[in-house]
């Protein structure tokens, strides 16, 4: 399955000195380790587990599973029976056993240049203990779900690890999601407490987070799900609402965290409004000031839930992906160490928001498990200008840098000068994640950003996989631009045709996995049936990714994109059904169909066809209302790029919308192929005439 030989030509390598001291220095070594990981996974992962602290050892098999629905329930168990705590492993173990207490865990940099702070492992441990005591004082117990809706601040890491310390389950909602999305997630996972902040700036834009959080809580109440406690962090406003918040005027969010200095908010800028409900709201600062910085971790069982994270589902309703403790810990730690070839003196920077899986696995758990020093960045790559990233790379001497193709394409548009005005000589490894990277962007990233010296790890994975599943290893794998190359240890991919037959050699079809690895998701929260039918029903015996994939003559894997009704906009998965249902909730809309149209920066953009109800006319006001409607229902990431008036949609005689035809219309492809199954082919002509032109 892994080729004996990899090509010498037409492939790219990073600088040879990277091999010196690398965890996996050659392709031969990768192959050996890969074979061991497949032939004896228990030994392979058992060796990795030795680095961690176990209160008691596992009792059953190291990795036990059933991936075949025809043989019974789907399950994966890793180190069942063992007892541990992930917060203890990523903090106490580093501080006490590995003597890393004074090492910087995070260099935090805010949206505004100059607004910065840092936190060591020891400080982080104390801050987490304090907040864990706060959560306890508010009634949070092992197994309870806690919703977290915060911007990219150190307190977000503190809140998630405090949950983990108590064995509570965090459910983080990306702070760019709408009030409605937040309330749906709170209710679906049955959270008993919400942690949020006053607000934050994204570039020049103020996000009044507390107002959104209040709206979400109101929606929950309206639906008979009252949530009794909300803890509010003062992030932006220092004095503005001291009295209403009844907060101490502390500048620090926690006595353990070093001062966050300077201008959080530019003097001329408005601070967020913070409505206050004394029945429900509590001030973060007042609570932590009164809490002890000592807190015994709750010892949990390996398969106890760690977190729920929602991801789009093709039916429209987001799925609460559930990850459990030990397997996820081992897998994120191992992938982080090997895929970024982590060394003790590295400074690592992953630009993803913690609200997505990349942030969970590769901002928080993987790096901390390795005792890494990371950059945690609140802002945008283009604010205050398009050099921000490279200026920060030099400032912190970043050696490993991980971002998304959409960010690379965006910055590439501005040319080389903003990059080349900074040295970037600290960089050693570059990474990408979230969507296929087009070769043009790959070459720019490799030659301009990395000066043809840094290998690019193109990591393919999903919220569901917990960590990287197809990826190069930086010192070992010859790279092909645009290919995620080969499987990580313990991962066995296959390509299936429509009949479910495994294809050998060069081929293209459905990407599936034949056996679990420790970090694979365990269930959809509260709906094991949906978990089984989404991932295991189509091809019994396999985990189905939902992605198409090609294997070339050299055995390299190339992701070709989603093969279900999902779109990937700027690296974020969106379900067409979810956007459609937001559109049809508008009283003027009778029917809607959403497809993807290629976009030079975002990868895909949202192209929406709407059929209006009788007597309704399409006009710019309605168009603006529809955009707003989708933003309010889902969040700004789902804002439609194009909305087209569609008096009729192309349907088969049985009434099924032919999305293929809509995709072709959106792309302006005149040759529609076989449309004989359409009930009324004249609708297609009308749609073509009214096509939205690409924005300039
Ligand atoms: C896509 C993000 C190609 C893919 C970690 C997958 C990629 C979905 C890559 C998961 C990559 C992610 N190359 N496609 N390197 N990485 N994808 O759950 O379609 O937000 O199924 O997890 O992103 O998105 P999710």
SS (H, E, C) 191-243: EEEEEEECCEEECCEEECHHHHHHHHHHHHHHCCCCCCCEEEECCCCCCCCHH
Q: Which residues pair with 605 in a beta bridge?
A: 597
On whether the CB atoms of residues 194 and 230 are closer than 8 A, the answer is: yes
Q: What stretch of H or E contains 544?
A: strand 543-551
Measured at the CA of 437, the angle between CA 434 and CA 441, to 5 degrees, comes to 130
Question: Do residues 298 and 169 lie in contact, with contact meaning Cβ atoms separated by under 8 Å?
Answer: no
Task: Give a three-class secondary structure readout of 333-373.
Answer: HHHHHHHCCCCCCCEEEECCCCCCHHHHHHHHHHHHHCCCE
Nearest protein CA to atom 4 of ligand 1, as residue: 435
Considering the chain, what is the average pLDDT of its residues? 93
Q: Indicate whether 182 pLDDT > 90.
A: yes
Of 322, 573, 603, the residue with max ligand 1 atoms within 8 A of its CB, to mutate for a pocket test, comes to 573
DSSP β-ladder status, 63-66 and 75-78: antiparallel
Q: Which residue has tokens 């168990």? A: 77
CA of 323 to the centre of ligand 1 (A): 17
Pairing of strands 116-120, 104-109: antiparallel
Query: Beta partners for 507?
Result: 551
Please determine, for residue 248, whether its predicted confidence score (pLDDT) is greater than 60: no
Cα of 383 vs centre of ligand 1, distance in Å, is: 26
Residue 573 near ligand 1, beta carbon < 6 Å: yes
Q: Report the run of H or E that residue 597 belongs to, with start and end.
A: strand 589-599
Q: Is the pLDDT of residue 245 over 60?
A: no
Instruction: Determine if residue 647 is left, alpha or beta; phi over 0 gives left, psi from -120 to 50 gives alpha, anything else beta.
Output: alpha
Contact (CB, 8 A) for 73 and 528: yes
Distance 249 CA to ligand 1 centre (A): 43
Position 267 scores a pLDDT of 54
CA distance from start to end of the chain: 46
Answer yes or no: is pLDDT of 244 > 50: no
When pLDDT is cut at 50, 70 and 90, the band that residue 1 belongs to is: confident
Percent of the chain with pLDDT over 70: 95
Per-residue model confidence (pLDDT) at position 262: 42
Contact 69, 544 (CB under 8 A): no
Give the residue carrying structure tokens 């959560």: 135
Tokens representing 349 are 């920077």
Q: In the structure, what pLDDT confidence band is assigned to residue 256 with cuts at 50, 70 and 90? A: low
pLDDT digits (tens, 9 = 90+) for 448-485: 999 999 999 999 999 999 999 999 999 999 999 999 99
Band (pLDDT 50/70/90 cuts) for residue 511 is very high
Q: Check residue 635 and give its pLDDT.
A: 94
Nearest to 231 by CA among 210, 248, 251, 252: 210
**pLDDT for residue 249:** 42
Distance CA 418, CA 401 (A): 17
Q: What's the confidence (pLDDT) of residue 258?
A: 46
607-633 pLDDT, tens digit each: 999 999 889 999 999 999 999 999 999
Average pLDDT, integer, range 637-656? 90
Whether the CB-CB separation of 641 and 579 falls below 8 Å is answered with no
Angle at 185 between CA 182 and CA 186, to 5 degrees: 85
pLDDT of 238 reads 60
What pLDDT, on a 0 to 100 scale, did the predictor assign at position 551?
97
- Mutating to test ligand 1, I would choose from 177, 431, 435 the residue with most ligand atoms within 8 A of its C-beta, which is 435
CB 493: neighbour CB atoms within 10 A? 22
- Could you tell me if 417 and 582 are in contact, meaning their C-beta atoms sit under 8 angstroms apart? no
Distance 433 CA to ligand 1 centre (A): 7
Confidence of residue 397 (pLDDT cuts 50, 70, 90): very high
| CB-CB contact of 82 with 56 (8 Å) | yes
Nearest residue to 12 via CA among 440, 443, 339: 443
Give the atom of ligand 1 at the shortest distance from the alpha carbon of 459.
Answer: 15
Name the CA radius of gyration of the chain, rounded: 25
Q: In 3D, which of 359, 321, 302, 374 has the Cα closest to residue 49? A: 302
Ligand 1 atom 12: residue of nearest CA: 434
pLDDT in tens, 355-386: 999 999 999 999 999 999 999 999 999 999 99
Give the model's confidence band at 674: pLDDT under 50 very low, under 70 low, under 90 confident, else very high. Answer: confident
* Integer Cα distance of 656 and 566 in angstroms: 17
How remote is the CA of residue 389 from the centroid of ligand 1, in Å?
A: 23
Residue reference for tokens 């990981």: 37
Tokens 């920066």 found at: 601
C-beta of 527 in contact with ligand 1 (< 6 A): no
User: How many angstroms does the Cα of residue 518 sit away from the middle of ligand 1?
Assistant: 19
State how far the Cα of 657 lies from the Cα of 680, in Å rounded to an integer: 12
C-alpha–C-alpha distance, residues 232 and 196, integer Å:
5
- pLDDT tens for 480-510 read 999 999 999 999 999 999 999 999 999 999 9
In this predicted structure, what is the pLDDT of residue 252?
47
Confirm or reject: Cβ of 358 under 6 Å from ligand 1.
yes
Per-residue model confidence as pLDDT tens digits over 314-327 = 887 899 999 999 99
Q: Match 């989404």 to its residue by tokens.
A: 534
Decide if pLDDT at 682 tops 90.
Answer: no
643 forms beta bridges with 608
Instruction: Provide CB contacts within 8 A for 495, sequence distance 6+.
Output: 502, 503, 507, 508, 509, 510, 511, 512, 549, 550, 551
Distance 434 CA to ligand 1 centre (A): 4
Atom of ligand 1 nearest to the CA of 562: 19
445 φ/ψ sector (left φ>0, alpha ψ -120 to 50, else beta): alpha
| CA distances in angstroms from 6 to 442, 477, 503, 539, 559, listed in the order given | 20, 9, 20, 30, 19
Is residue 654 predicted with pLDDT exceeding 80? no
CA distance 664 to 671: 8
């Amino acid at each position: 399955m892994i080729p004996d030989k990899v090509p010498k030509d037409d492939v790219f390598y990073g600088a040879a000195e990277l091999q010196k001291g690398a965890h996996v220095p050659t392709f031969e070594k990768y192959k050996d380790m890969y074979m061991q990981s497949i032939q004896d996974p228990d030994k392979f992962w058992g060796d990795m587990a030795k680095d961690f602290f176990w209160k008691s050892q596992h009792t059953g098999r190291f990795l036990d599973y059933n991936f075949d629905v025809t043989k019974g329930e789907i399950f994966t168990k890793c180190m069942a029976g063992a007892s541990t705590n992930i917060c203890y492993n990523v903090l106490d173990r580093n501080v006490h056993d590995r003597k890393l207490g004074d090492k910087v865990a995070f260099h935090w940099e805010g949206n505004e240049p100059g607004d910065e702070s840092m936190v060591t492992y020891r400080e982080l441990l104390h801050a987490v203990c304090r907040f864990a005591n706060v959560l306890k004082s508010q009634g949070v117990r092992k197994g309870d779900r806690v919703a977290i809706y915060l911007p990219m601040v150190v307190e977000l890491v503190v809140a998630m690890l405090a949950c983990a310390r108590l064995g509570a389950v965090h459910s983080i909602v990306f702070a760019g999601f709408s009030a409605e999305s937040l309330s749906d997630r709170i209710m679906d996972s049955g959270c008993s407490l919400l942690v949020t902040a006053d607000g934050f700036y994204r570039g020049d834009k103020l996000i009044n987070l507390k107002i959104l959080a209040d709206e979400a809580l109101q929606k929950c109440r309206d639906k008979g799900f009252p949530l009794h406690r909300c803890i509010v962090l003062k992030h932006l406003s220092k004095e503005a609402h001291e009295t209403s918040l009844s907060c101490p005027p502390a500048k620090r969010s926690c006595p353990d965290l070093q001062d966050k200095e300077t201008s959080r908010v530019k003097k001329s800028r408005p601070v967020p409004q913070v409505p206050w409900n004394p029945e429900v709201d509590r001030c973060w600062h007042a609570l932590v000031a009164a809490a002890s910085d000592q807190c015994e971790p709750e010892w949990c069982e390996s398969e106890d839930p760690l977190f729920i994270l929602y991801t789009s589902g093709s039916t429209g309703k987001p799925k609460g992906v559930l990850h459990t403790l030990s397997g996820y810990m081992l897998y994120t730690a191992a992938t982080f160490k090997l895929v970024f070839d982590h060394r003790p003196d590295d400074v690592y920077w992953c630009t993803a928001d913690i609200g997505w899986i990349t942030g969970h696995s590769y901002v928080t758990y993987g790096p901390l498990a390795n005792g890494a020093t990371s950059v945690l960045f609140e802002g945008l790559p283009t604010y205050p200008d398009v050099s921000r990233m490279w200026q920060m790379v030099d400032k912190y001497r970043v050696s490993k840098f991980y971002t998304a193709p959409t960010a690379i394409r965006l910055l590439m548009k501005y040319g080389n000068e903003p990059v080349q005005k900074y040295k970037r000589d600290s960089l050693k490894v570059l990474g990408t994640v979230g969507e296929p990277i087009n070769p043009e962007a790959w070459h720019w990233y490799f030659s301009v950003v990395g000066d043809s010296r840094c290998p690019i790890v193109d990591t393919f994975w999903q919220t569901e996989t917990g960590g990287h599943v197809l990826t190069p290893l930086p010192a070992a794998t010859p790279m092909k631009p645009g290919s995620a190359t080969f499987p990580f240890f313990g991962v066995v991919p296959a390509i299936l045709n429509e009949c479910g037959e495994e294809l050998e050699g060069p081929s293209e079809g459905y990407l599936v996995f034949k056996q679990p690895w420790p970090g694979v998701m365990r269930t959809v929260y509260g709906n094991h049936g949906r978990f089984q039918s989404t991932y295991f029903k189509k091809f019994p015996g396999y985990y189905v990714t939902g992605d198409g994939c090609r294997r070339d003559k050299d055995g390299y894997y190339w992701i070709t994109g989603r093969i279900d009704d999902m779109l990937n906009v700027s690296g974020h998965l969106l379900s067409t059904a979810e956007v459609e249902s937001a559109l049809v909730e508008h009283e003027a809309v009778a029917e809607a169909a959403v497809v993807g149209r290629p976009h030079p920066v975002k990868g895909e953009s949202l192209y929406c066809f709407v059929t209006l109800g009788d007597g309704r006319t399409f006009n710019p006001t309605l168009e603006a209302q529809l955009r707003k409607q989708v933003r309010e229902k889902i969040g700004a990431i789902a804002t439609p790029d194009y909305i087209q008036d569609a008096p009729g949609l192309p349907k088969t005689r049985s009434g099924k919308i032919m999305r293929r035809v809509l995709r072709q219309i959106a792309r302006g492809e005149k040759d529609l192929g076989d449309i004989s199954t359409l009930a009324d082919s004249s609708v297609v002509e009308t749609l073509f005439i009214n096509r939205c032109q690409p924005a300039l």
